[in-house]
Structure 1
Amino acid sequence: MLKGSIVALITPMDEKGKICQKSLKKLINYHIKNGTSAIVSVGTTGESATLNQEEHSNVVMITLDLADGRIPIIAGTGSNATAEGISLTKRFEKSGIIACLTVTPYYNKPTQTGLYQHFKAISESSELPQILYNVPTRTGCDLLPKTVTKLAKLKNIIGIKEATGDLSRIHLIKQFVKNDFIFISGDDTTALDFMQLGGNGVISVTANIAAKEMTELCNLALKKDFYNARIINQRLMILHKILFNEPNPIPVKWAAKKIGLISSDTLRLPMTPLSPYTQMILTKILKDIGLYPNNMQEKYIKKK
């Protein structure tokens, strides 16, 4: 089962907006060293919305190559067009990825019937395991528990990344699905509570720059040591929140550069650089929780 701290990996780019393989390798090694349980490549945090299909596929395949079997890779394959979601999914068959993370169709605002048919069509197009991804604040539609339980009956839909922050969802779904259905939080601020209620882990933005801490937090939670897990979580809470002070991944990409994990915090329009005000606050937070200066991260990084 997928569990623990799974990073929603940023996609590093150079100053011209091209994928930076050197920084990507550094990030992967950092996560392997710090016990991250899996990597989501080209999800929301990986800027899937501004990569074309060819770039999208290339980043996933490069990540697979650089990981070299040392850490499981999950591919983001969501789209607002069902045909495009199928196309992306089929690109990764027999590639070595362990699952696809498929976001609800954005902008279209489909009905629950439309959502069911969308995910059913993708599921039937491939043997790859599928993880549903529900994030209404970004997509404009909500995959309701009743629809999730219906989709969970399809053979290769294995779990859900639930990013609503609504902790009641885990109860509403869990009672109607098999015991091996995977529940992954998509919200760092409520992830510990989510795991305490029976969740298996978190697909984390914070883990991009606090991989060791998120690994420890999740490992403790999965051992049901919620007292010590909460101590770590309370220390990280201000970071969880500031990383969404501006649209993700603007803050986390800037922070990753600040602490030396990537060489550039380049984003593609319409995403714009982090504001000076948030830079000031985030710098102080990084110092306060021990993630700054740069050389504090280097001890966790080894070459492949």
Structure 2
Amino acid sequence: MTNERQTPKGILGFPITPYNERGNICEKSLSKNIEFLLDEGLEAIFIACGSGEFNAISTKEYESMVELATSEVNGRVPVYTGVGGNLSTALDQAKVSEKHGVDGYLVLPPYLINSEQDGLYEYYKTIVGSTELNAIVYQRANAVLQLETLEKLVEFPQVVGLKDGIGNMELNVELTQTIGRRLRWLNGMPMAEVTMPAYVQLGFDSYSSAISNYIPHISRLFYESLLNNDMHTVQDIYQDVILPISQIRKQRSGYAISLIKAGMEIVGLPVENTVRPPVTPVEKEHYEQLEKILKTAFDKYPAKIATN
């Protein structure tokens, strides 16, 4: 990196937002989710982002989640928040994040609007310039930065990374090979393990792993095998775990969130398969399919038992 700011590297944890029987956030379950990710060695915690149902939580809930996450993590790894949507809300969230001492935030797309590059630049510029926190810009949906726009944004020292959820590899080549190590590059594609072999070659050394919420040891085994060029293990994990889960995920819109909760419930974490509309819970047929995949996963790739 050409600046002194520290940025997340490796497998990044994105906790979900668990609800109790009354539909309110269950802070005890959220704490357990975060602690589980920390115990499993994930390199950063991203709270109240996409998998945390950023779209469905109130301002008050947002702040309580940020406060809980910073307290739970207590400096062990970087904590990032999600900010975005309409500009006023994003600025409020940035201030809340700064108030609670997080390390930075992931800037999510503006609300619905498709804009020109100048408009996207002003959106990101306004948010990034509102605090001194690290900022990671997110290529997703209606927010896709072209090279010229990103080159202007990296003039802000706060901009430390780009997370790609689009999968336009021609654009990714252009961005990574022009801007290089000035930014950290994060793979944010759906089921990022599916595409990580291609992304590693471009310099992406971080990714958000949905399955790390319930089988983080397999996320770790996959990534270490990939980096060590152990393609036999990579292919086995693809066939046994990653591609089958990816196939379920594709069955319904919203499974990017609810399938994580189902997986967590199956492995015994205190999370129920409940979500807020418009997302829907995982259907029984798909839930049972996931149970079978996870049984195979634990049989073939057992988690190591902690000795301390």
Q: Give TM-score, length-normalised by structure 2.
A: 0.86
* Identical aligned residues as a percent: 25
User: Are the counterparts in 2 of residues 259 and 291 from structure 1 also a CA contact under 8 Å?
Assistant: no
Residue-by-residue CA offset, 1:17-47 (whole Å, 9 max, x unaligned) = 1111221122122112211111110111100
For structure 1, the 5+ residue unaligned runs are none
Shift of 1:229: 6.4
Aligned to 2:4: none
Structure 1 stretches of at least 4 aligned residues deviating more than 4 Å after TM superposition: 296-302
Aligned to 1:255: 263
1 or 2 for the larger relative contact order (CA 8 Å, sep ≥6)?
1
Further displaced range: 119-128 or 183-192: 183-192
For structure 2, the 5+ residue unaligned runs are 1-6
Q: Give TM-score, length-normalised by structure 1.
A: 0.88
Residue-by-residue CA offset, 1:61-90 (whole Å, 9 max, x unaligned) = 1111122222321111122x1122111101
**Equivalent of residue 158 in structure 1, options 144, 147, 160:** 160
**1:276 to 2:293 alignment:** no
User: Are the counterparts in 1 of residues 48 and 66 from structure 2 also a CA contact under 8 Å?
Assistant: yes
Shift of 1:129: 0.7
AA aligned opposite 1:161? K
AA aligned opposite 2:76? R
Query: 2: CA distance between counterparts of 1:98 and 1:251?
Result: 28
Aligned to 1:32: 38
User: Are the counterparts in 1 of residues 108 and 138 from structure 2 also a CA contact under 8 Å?
Assistant: yes
Change (3 A) 1:93 1:141: closer
Further displaced range: 182-191 or 92-101: 92-101
Query: 2: CA distance between counterparts of 1:129 and 1:228?
Result: 38
Aligned to 1:101: 106
Further displaced range: 108-117 or 273-282: 273-282
Query: 2: CA distance between counterparts of 1:42 and 1:291?
Result: 33
Shift of 1:159: 0.8
SS of residue paired to 1:77: strand
SS of residue paired to 2:178: coil
Aligned to 1:2: 8
SS of residue paired to 1:249: helix
Aligned to 1:15: 21
